Amino acid sequence: MSRIFLSAKIPSIGTKLLDKAELDYQVFDGTGVISKEELIENITDCQVLICPLSTIVDQAVIDQAPNLRLIANFGAGFNNIDADYAKKKGIYVTNTPIVSTNATAELTAGLIIALSRRIVEGDRLMHGAGFDGWAPLFFLGNELKDKTLGIIGMGQIGQSLAEKMSAFGMKIMYSQRHQLDSEQEKVLKVEFHTQKEVIQQADILSLHAPLTDETRHLLNYEVFQQMKNSAFVINAARGPLIDEEALVQALNDQQIAGAALDVYEFEPEVTETLKHFDNVILTPHIGNASVEARNQMAEIVVKNAIACVQGNALNHIVNGLPQD
C-alpha cells in the first residue's frame, strides 16, 4: 500500500512529482475546507496525509488512520496537527520552513507601508466618493524614515523584515527569548531590548513569534496601554498572538493608531467590529501566497511523501520522532 491523500489542491509542480514517481494518490476535490468527516473517510487506509494549515488533524482523526506514517504539513506552522499524539502513534509530522520567509516578510513590509501611508484607506475613497483635489493637509500619513520598528520574534522572517525595513531608514529593535550574537545584530542593524521596552518604544510593532501557551494573547489590553498612541500593530504570524477583543477596545479608545492583520484569533472568522475601522487593514492569510513560495512548499511536502513511501529519510521533522 502506498496511498497518499491530499486534503487540498496544491501547485501542479507537486502532483507532477507524484505522477513521475508513479504513486497512488487522491486529492480532495470538494469546495472550501475539507470537513472532519470527509478527512476521516479519505485517510482510513492511507500512509501519507499532505495537508494545509486549514486541515485539523487531531487525535480523533489520527485514530481513524491506522496505516498513517506521515503527516506532511503544507506550511511552516503546524498548530493544526496534534504532533505529540502523532509521535506516540509513530507518525512523522513534517513542515515547510524557510521557503516562505521572504514572501511573508514582503507582505509584512507591504502592510507596514500601506498602513503608514493610508494606501488602502485611500483606495477605498477613490473607489467611492473620490476627492476634491490636492490640498496641503489632506490625507496625511507618516513616513517610515527615522521611525522605530519593533519586532517581537527575530527568527528567519523577523530577520528578513529587518533587512528590508532598514532600507527605509528605520531604527529597528527586537525582543525574543535568546539574543542574537553581536555580529548578526551588526549585519541586520538591530538592537536587542526587553519585550516591554520594544512595546513601549515602537512606532510600528510587528509580531513574528510562534504560538505557544506563553505567547497566546501576547498583546492584550494591558499591553496596548503601554504602547504609543501613535503606534501601529502588524500581525502576519499567528492570529491568537492578539486578543482581538482587546484590540477592538484599544482602537476604540485610541490607545493605538491602527493595525494590519493577515491572521486572526478565530480564523477563518474575523472579529466583525474590526471590519468597521478605517485604520485597520485585513488580508486573508496571504503571507506566503506567492507563486515562488507555494511551489517550493509543494516540492517539500511531496518529496517527503515520496521518501516516506520509498523508505528514505525525511526532511523537516517537527515532532521529534527519530528516523530508523
> Which tens digit of pLDDT belongs to each residue from 64-79?
999 999 999 999 889 8
In the CATH hierarchy, which fold is given to the domain comprising 101-282? Rossmann fold (3.40.50)
Q: Does residue 269 have an active-site annotation?
A: no
- b/e map 163-197, b = 16+ CB within 10 Å: bbbeebebbbbbbbeeebeeeebeebebebbebee
Active site residue 285: yes
Q: Domain residues of the chain, as ranges?
A: 4-99+290-310, 101-282
pLDDT given for residue 73 in this prediction: 97
**Tens-digit pLDDT profile for residues 162-180:** 999 999 999 999 999 999 9
Mean pLDDT to the nearest integer, 128-150:
97
**118-132 average pLDDT score:** 96
Q: Fold match between 4-99+290-310 and 101-282?
A: yes
pLDDT at 136 over 80: yes
Of residues 106, 185, 267, 299, which has the active-site annotation?
267
Question: Element (H or E) spanning 27, and its range?
Answer: strand 25-27
pLDDT of residue 183: 97
Catalytic residue among 118, 208, 238, 294: 238
Helix, strand, coil shares of the chain as percentages rounded to 5?
35, 15, 45
Residue 195 near residue 172, CB atoms below 8 Å: no
Could you confirm whether 238 is annotated as catalytic?
A: yes
Of all helices (H) and strands (E), which one includes residue 226?
helix 221-226
Q: For domain 4-99+290-310, give the CATH number.
A: 3.40.50.720
